[in-house]
């Protein structure tokens, strides 16, 4: 049967997509050093656990879905995913291999579990997906891992509640663990932590709340899932609501997890950056 080996979370700020190809120089830059310093242990862990498939839970920011057509939950079921010019100047990187067989298994299982997702046999993936993949697989060395994009609306209200996302993650976890092939599956949740890109509170960051989230996502994720979307926006900024993507990942990992590694750094661009490596515990 398929095994969930653990979870990764990371911020997905577009400027990181431009910095990654220059990481060797930027590790000596005072602005980037504390950010990039967090990643080597996470990359070593990925090499050690050897995922066959990465389920990437992220939000599209207007590349594949726009405001005229915005599904709450969607899952990729394509043989391949590409990125495209989003206007941030992020490089176009090699395509990502899909796993349509596992995609359809997950789609069938979560629909049976009453999560009525959009199934996408064509899907462009944006920085919410590509930046984390480039961070964890240096030099875009991800050709050996199959990917499944799971996209959740965090752009146009109404957003799904944190509890709904946590339960969606639990349904994804059940789907993976009922897949008959003997494969290792990694679950990623991207975005966050606190940030607000526009309006009166542009630049808003809440370190205290971010650290609470990084603590409770290990020990008591349901406490975090009980926040409402307006509370999450108030505490972590309009775009800090991307934390629902982390909660979805955490739902998939099951009751107990062990923290292997984490890093927190304020700020890259407008965002408090955070990285976590979690292992599923018995
Ligand atoms: C930034 C952060 C994001 O999560 C995003 O999607 C776009 C921009 C930023 O801080 O610049
Ligand atoms: Fe974002």
Minimal-distance CA residue to ligand 1 atom 8 = 13
Active site residues: 127, 195
pLDDT for 13 beyond 90: yes
Helix, strand, coil shares of the chain, percent, nearest 5, are 40, 20, 40
What number is the average pLDDT over the span 203-231? 98
Minimal-distance CA residue to ligand 1 atom 10 = 270
Summarize pLDDT for 152-166 with one digit per residue, the tens: 999 999 999 999 999
Q: Which residues pair with 187 in a beta bridge?
A: 7, 55
pLDDT for 184 beyond 90: yes
From 10, 14, 89, mutation site for ligand 1 pocket: most ligand atoms within 8 A of C-beta? 14
28: phi then psi, degrees, rounded to nearest 5: -100, 5
pTM of the model: 0.98
Q: Which atom of ligand 1 is nearest to the CA of 267?
A: 10
CA of 155 relative to ligand 2 center, distance in Å: 9
In the prediction, which pLDDT does 256 show?
97
Report CA 14 to chain centroid distance, whole Å: 14
| Residue 208 pLDDT level (bands cut at 50, 70, 90) | very high
13's CB contacts (< 8 A; 6+ apart) are 127, 131, 268, 269, 270, 271, 273
pLDDT for 282 beyond 90: no
What number is the average pLDDT over the span 39-58? 98
What number is the average pLDDT over the span 133-141? 97
Give the position of tokens 């996470």.
42
Structure tokens at 10: 């990371």
In this prediction, what percent of the chain has a pLDDT beyond 70? 100
Count of beta carbons in the 10 Å neighbourhood of residue 186: 23
Q: Is 41 exposed, middle or buried (0-12, 13-18, 19+ CB in 10 A)?
A: middle
Summarize pLDDT for 120-132 with one digit per residue, the tens: 999 999 999 999 9
| Mean pLDDT for the chain overall | 97
What's the CATH code, domain 3-280? 3.40.830.10
Domain boundaries, the chain: 3-280
Summarize pLDDT for 164-174 with one digit per residue, the tens: 999 999 999 99
């Amino acid at each position: 049967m398929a095994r969930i080996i653990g979870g990764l979370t990371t911020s997905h700020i577009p400027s990181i997509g431009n910095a990654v190809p220059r990481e060797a120089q930027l590790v000596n830059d005072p602005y980037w050093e504390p950010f990039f310093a967090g990643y080597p242990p996470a990359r070593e862990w990925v090499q050690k656990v050897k995922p066959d498939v990465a389920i990437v839970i992220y939000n599209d920011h207007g590349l594949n879905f726009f405001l005229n057509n915005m599904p709450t939950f969607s899952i990729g079921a394509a043989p391949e995913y590409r990125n495209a010019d989003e206007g941030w100047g992020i490089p176009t990187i090699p395509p990502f291999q899909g796993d349509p067989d596992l995609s359809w298994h997950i789609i069938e299982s979560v629909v049976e579990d009453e999560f009525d997702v959009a199934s996408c046999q064509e899907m462009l993936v944006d920085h919410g997906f590509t930046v984390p993949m480039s961070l964890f697989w240096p030099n875009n060395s991800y050709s050996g891992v199959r990917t499944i994009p799971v996209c959740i609306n965090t752009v146009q209200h109404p957003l799904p509640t944190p509890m709904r996302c946590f339960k969606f993650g639990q349904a994804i976890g059940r789907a993976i663990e009922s897949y008959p092939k003997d494969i290792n599956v990694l679950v990623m949740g991207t975005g966050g932590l606190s940030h607000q890109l526009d309006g009166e509170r542009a630049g808003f960051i809440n370190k205290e709340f971010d650290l609470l989230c990084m603590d409770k996502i290990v020990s008591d994720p349901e406490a975090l899932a009980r926040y409402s979307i307006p509370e999450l926006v108030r505490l972590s900024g309009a775009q800090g609501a991307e934390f629902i993507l982390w909660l979805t990942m955490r739902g998939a990992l099951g009751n107990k997890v062990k923290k292997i590694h984490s890093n927190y750094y304020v700020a890259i661009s407008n965002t408090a950056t955070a990285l976590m490596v979690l292992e599923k515990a018995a």
